[in-house]
Amino acid sequence: MSRLTESSASSASSAAVGVTGLIAVAALGLGIQSGLSLRDDARETDGRAAAVAAASAEVSGLISVSDKTTTEEIDKLRAGATDDFGAELEEQSTALRRALQAQKVTSTGSVASAGVVAWAPSKARVLVAAVGEVSNESSAQATPRAYRLRVDLRNVEGRWLVSDMEFVS
């Protein structure tokens, strides 16, 4: 009888070790899954913040122009844009500078609020609210302005670049 008791105790002990091992493996798996989930959440948070920063910088540059706007300032806007959108900016820059110079326009502005409304690791859509003042040769005083823009961005080699921008109401 004592041999049977020892054998049962040994089997119970082996089963307990096996169950403990399974629990440890499951806990390790859950820990890895939680760690990966936290890493993905951090990447998304960082990606969203970078997209908002890129959209805000581009909008600020676009609404802060004057008759003295330089080629370097236009080039800076183009540097924050995809190739296609940068080409659109380039096409419009000559006409924009002429209009600014003809009317002696000075526009200053800043982003009041911006937020991501759609996000994926490779693209984002940001809504930007900005405020500013515009003056020109025909007005004695600067006129306050409010702008709302939808900015589409693409993640190109780790940089968020504007691929489209539209004024919205």
| pLDDT confidence of residue 118 | 97
Picking from 33, 36, 109, 98, the residue whose alpha carbon sits closest to that of residue 69 is 98
CA distance 75 to 89: 9
Pairing of strands 65-66, 106-120: antiparallel
Q: What pLDDT band is residue 106 in, cutting at 50, 70 and 90? A: very high
Q: The tokens of 52 are what?
A: 């908002």
State the average pLDDT over residues 68-75. 87
| pLDDT confidence of residue 8 | 63
State the average pLDDT over residues 128-154. 95
| pLDDT confidence of residue 27 | 72
| pLDDT confidence of residue 23 | 82
Quick: pLDDT tens for 28-57: 777 777 666 556 667 899 999 999 999 999
Q: Kindly list the structural domains of the chain, giving each domain's residue range(s) and its CATH number in brackets, ordered by start.
A: 2-167 (3.10.450.230)
CA distance 54 to 42: 18
Helix (H, G, I), strand (E, B) or coil at 82: coil
23, 41, 51, 167 from 78: Cα distances, Å: 56, 31, 16, 18
Q: Looking at beta carbons, which pairs linking 153-157 to residues 24 or more positions away fall under 8 Å? A: 153/51, 153/54, 153/55, 153/123, 153/124, 153/125, 153/126, 154/82, 154/122, 154/123, 155/47, 155/51, 155/121, 155/122, 155/123, 155/124, 156/82
Q: Residue 81 carries which DSSP code? A: B
